[in-house]
Amino acid sequence: MNHRFHLGMWLVILGALHVIVGCAGFFAPYDPVAQNREQVFQPPARLRFVDLLGHFHIRPFFYPTGLRLDALQYSEDPKQPVPLRFFVTGAPYRLLGVLPARVHLFGTDHASVYLLGSDGFGRDLFSRILYGGQVSLLAGLLGTGLALSLGWGIGTAAGYFGGWRDELLMRTAELFLALPWLYLLFAVRAFLPLVVSPLQAFSLVIAVIGTVGWVRPSRLIRGIVLSAKERDFVRAARGFGASDVYLLRRHILPQTYNVMLTQAAILVPQYVLAEMSLSFLGLGVPEPVASWGNLLSSLQQYSVLVSYWWMYAPAVAMVPFFMVYLRVASLLQENKQAF
């Protein structure tokens, strides 16, 4: 029971993280592509409760920062503290991509609050991480869905039917495994039309992840199906004249469900990482749309690497996601053994 409780708790946390990213429009204070050219590479705002005189304020506030041109550095201006407001009206967005709305969780009356700093165009990094998460996580989820369903179907067919069909499918799988897919992707990209809309680029990324990713799950599923179809109760059912479809549905496939779930929990973070790599190399969604890989690609420049530590934030943001996913995966694994 304790075990189930743990799994449930982690699933709730995972769900909450996804809700936050899914409703990025509400949680992010600004439009992720809005540039503020007066405030580029702003360090993260320091939220305070205690002012310089030592007074405690229940409402968090921060001091606006101004650029000191002589040193190209920002310094806080303690004369005008800016309080943080909640449920403010700001830039329009669509909640979950559907509902038009203008209310944001937090914001300010004047001055901009950069919770995690701003980038080289003065865009709010916190907002971009949330919006970028939508792209990266969705790519991970859809990529996993595609890879697993392909892998499931092919692995089951190869394992159940055996013979030359098994040979054909598994040799094909090996071929896919051996492909230098990153270079292949560069080549594919070169053949596509010059202008690729963000949606097309996104679909391409998922297609790539799916077509490359199905091989490993399919081999796993094939193994399970191979052993399952030789079990005594399956043989018995076959002896009683059960059809292939009945056998698969009733006896064999249910044995793969647990593996599928565990695989999913392992693959999602892997594929999020794959999307990030592709975007990092410029093969993912194009500017100015944010994705975690896009956000990190500015770190390719040495000057950014050594000057603006907050540009690492997208890399840190994915850590809780990956930890929770992997925790869920290992709990699912234990769960399977418990049965």
Partner 1 sequence: MRSSRNICRICTVRVTAFLALIMPLTLSAGANLQATPSKEDLLALPGEIGRRGGRIVVSLRSEPKTLNPLTAIDAPSRDVIGVMQADLVHINRATQLTEPALAESWKFSAGGLTCTVTLRAGLKFSDGQPLDADDVLFTFQVYLDESVHATQRDLLIVGGKPIAIQKADARTLIFQLAKPYGVGERLFDGFAILPRHLLEKPYKEGKLGQTGALSTSADQWAGLGPFRLKEYVAGQRLVLERNPYYWKTDARGTRLPYLDELIFLFVSSADAQVLRFQSGDVDIISRVGAENFAVLSRQPRGYTMIDAGPSLEYNFLFFNLNDLGARNSLDIAERQKWFRDLMFRQAVSAAIDRGAIVRLIYQGRGASLWGPVTPGNPRWLDAAIAHPPRSLDKARQLLREAGFKWTDSAGAEPALIDKTGKPVEFSIITSASNADRAKMATLIQDDLRQLGMHVNLVPLELRSLIDRVTGTKEYDACVLGVANFDADPNSELNVWLSSGGMHLWNPAQSHPATQWESEIDRLMEQQLTVVDQHQRKKLYDRVQEILAENQPMIFLASPDVLAGAKSTIGNFHPAVLEPYVLWNVEQLYLRNAAENASK
- Report DSSP state, residue 282: T
Among 180, 302, 319, 337, indicate the residue that binds partner 1 (CB under 8 A).
302
Sort 27 into a burial class: Cβ within 10 Å, 0-12 / 13-18 / 19+: middle
Residues constituting the chain = 339
Indicate whether 33 belongs to the interface with partner 1 (CB under 8 A): yes
Site map 1..20 versus partner 1, x via CB under 8 A: --------------------
Indicate whether 307 belongs to the interface with partner 1 (CB under 8 A): yes
Enclosing H/E stretch for 161: helix 125-161
Nearer to partner 1, 38 or 244 (CB): 38
Nearer to partner 1, 33 or 185 (CB): 33
Nearer to partner 1, 121 or 322 (CB): 121
Decide if 20 contacts 27 (C-beta within 8 A). yes
Which residues, including other chains, have CB under 8 Å from residue 171's CB and lie 6 or more apart?
none
Nearest to 31 by CA among 101, 109, 98, 110: 101
Nearest to 223 by CA among 263, 177, 264, 250: 263
Nearest to 65 by CA among 28, 36, 105: 36
Measured CA to CA, the distance from residue 229 to residue 210 in angstroms comes to: 27
Site map 251..290 versus partner 1, x via CB under 8 A: -------------------------------x---xxx--
Nearer to partner 1, 47 or 305 (CB): 305
What is the closest distance, in whole angstroms, from the C-beta atom of residue 173 to partner 1 in the complex? 33
Among 8, 66, 92, 254, indicate the residue that binds partner 1 (CB under 8 A).
92
Return residues touching partner 1 (CB under 8 A): 33, 35, 37, 40, 69, 72, 92, 100, 120-121, 190, 194-195, 197, 282, 286-288, 301-304, 306-307
